[in-house]
Structure 1
């Protein structure tokens, strides 16, 4: 692949672009003029669990020229339409769109670009955008990973080529059950990113709070129940675990037995602050409808009640509308939902 671009260089895109730039040329594309200027003048600075700065080439969408062989798509889904319009004149029939977005982004991109050109990837690490040109990696180096594949499970040369590019950063797992992997990632985002946004806190704060930590288990279990009804057969992780088996529960007794699994499984991400919360802090729209909203959408379709996800959506959308940032003061609302629906 001769020409590569990362479209959407927020926290994740900046860090991935920096790692790739250590080994080969990649163009970083973003609409934030101050960020593009800082990247070009000072390089991409990575802080947190790793510390380094690397020179990069960054562009505004209107500055693009020529065609790309691979576009790594990291735009928030609320901006899909404008981002797609920006790259349409810079692709050809062989260009690959590799989406690292949250939620279930592949169907919408396949509709535009075709099934053969869209490859999906889940990101197994977290990041926080600090300021123009600077992003914080919040996951330990030993825990960094990607999981990649097509919704149909096919592994071809294009998939292998994309794997090679991402390996400039960390380990890449190829998935023959990528739809299941997507849902596994979705339920993690719906649970901890959703609560991070709804409570204005980190993943660790959710784990440390006696109300939020229990609520998280019910959000996750709700996602599993909806996935089961929709037809997801294996909630695979990069480590080969089936998240239904490790996290799902049928009653309170089983939930108590699995509480420690949540603690040990998600504690490595304790420093992570959801990108949706970062959006609220900047007064921007969030991806709540592309994450928790996907769960409620399929819940309605399959006639599965989703009160725990519904409450997260209510809190976050209210904050969006009022241009406010949620806080732990929302815990009493979650406690009421727990008292009404826990089982």
Structure 2
């Protein structure tokens, strides 16, 4: 059994974290479905290159397509898009040791999907908010640091989660070990709803959030997520300027405006100007994670009798863009405002 780390999904998130671990001397093996990306990483003359204002370096490590992988690992970092989680778990399961675990480095509530596939005791949760983009085979742009949190899904303080915390601190020295990982994940869903909204237009994150006329939209959209979280018995945690308390029912407009200003201040200097969702739509021309992140929140809200009008409109808008029925335009945000 391999005692190193198998990074399943070597894109923006898995590639960046994995590269830092390789540079620090950890035994890391990458897996990705993009043949050209895999070939670049394992090519001794190329390797995996991290670029951008945060850091610049190149590492070389073993890399494989899923069908090429052999052996078992006790530690697997899963960093694929949310809608690929179930298929990725099926593919990696033969390579997960009986006493091993999968760490989810994804957006949404993928831990629940992973647990269904590999078992609850073999699933560990994480939350990340740093900015990175896959640029081309063998190159990832690391645009800005952001919150990184890890925790057992049952809140236990185990030896393995403490070891994972130390590994993640190699990448982000301020990484947090928590006993409330779902509080952070729901917080990211609320903040993420704003990033999905940014993706339907052309303005970057900071400029989009900074549109004063859209403050009611931000309040409504994040508020719907937070109401659903409350119904699920979760109290979301904030990060990087996002304060959930400023968007819950009864919160003042001034509180929301202050939190939005803090989010703008966090995002304004970042080299990563647009969300990954926007890149999926505008650059890579592929489907987003909206049906695995935002739609489930609206569906859950419906089961609790909570109206999620804005979230449902957001899902429809993004689906129409994905299907080529709607163009990317800042006017889409005005439609969401009035939905």
Q: Does 1:248 align with 2:248?
A: yes
TM-score by length of 2: 0.89
Q: Distance in 2 between matches of 1:62 and 1:242?
A: 41
Question: What is the Cα deviation at residue 46 of structure 1?
Answer: 1.8
* Structure 2 counterpart of 1:332: 334
Tell me if the contact between 2:48 and 2:58 (Cα under 8 Å) persists in the aligned partners: yes
Question: What is the Cα deviation at residue 164 of structure 1?
Answer: 1.9
Go from structure 1 to structure 2 and tell me whether the alpha carbon gap of 1:333 and 1:113 turns closer, same or farther (over 3 Å shift): same
Q: Distance in 2 between matches of 1:189 and 1:56?
A: 33
Q: Distance in 1 between matches of 2:295 and 2:111?
A: 16
Between Structure 1 and Structure 2, the one with more helix by share is 1
Q: Distance in 2 between matches of 1:324 and 1:18?
A: 37
* Structure 2 counterpart of 1:341: none
SS of 1:198's equivalent? coil
* Structure 2 counterpart of 1:20: 21
Q: Distance in 1 between matches of 2:239 and 2:285?
A: 34
Q: Does 1:181 align with 2:179?
A: no
Tell me if the contact between 1:6 and 1:13 (Cα under 8 Å) persists in the aligned partners: yes
SS of 1:45's equivalent? strand
Q: RMSD of the alignment, in Å?
A: 2.2
Q: Does 1:105 align with 2:107?
A: no
Match of 1:264 among 257, 262, 265: 262
Within 5 A, what are the aligned runs for 1:192-207? 193-207=195-209
Point out 4+ residue stretches in structure 1 off by more than 6 angstroms: none
* Structure 2 counterpart of 1:44: 48
1:238-268 C-alpha deviation (Å, 9 max, x unpaired):
68x99432443426xx113430222113431
Q: Distance in 1 between matches of 2:38 and 2:333?
A: 38
1:141-197 C-alpha deviation (Å, 9 max, x unpaired):
xxx431111222111111112112212101321111222121111111122x21122
Q: Distance in 2 between matches of 1:96 and 1:32?
A: 24
Q: Distance in 1 between matches of 2:83 and 2:211?
A: 31
* Structure 1 counterpart of 2:139: 134
Go from structure 1 to structure 2 and tell me whether the alpha carbon gap of 1:212 and 1:127 turns closer, same or farther (over 3 Å shift): farther
Go from structure 1 to structure 2 and tell me whether the alpha carbon gap of 1:54 and 1:89 turns closer, same or farther (over 3 Å shift): same
TM-score by length of 1: 0.88
* Structure 2 counterpart of 1:236: 237
Tell me if the contact between 2:7 and 2:18 (Cα under 8 Å) persists in the aligned partners: yes
* Structure 2 counterpart of 1:223: 225
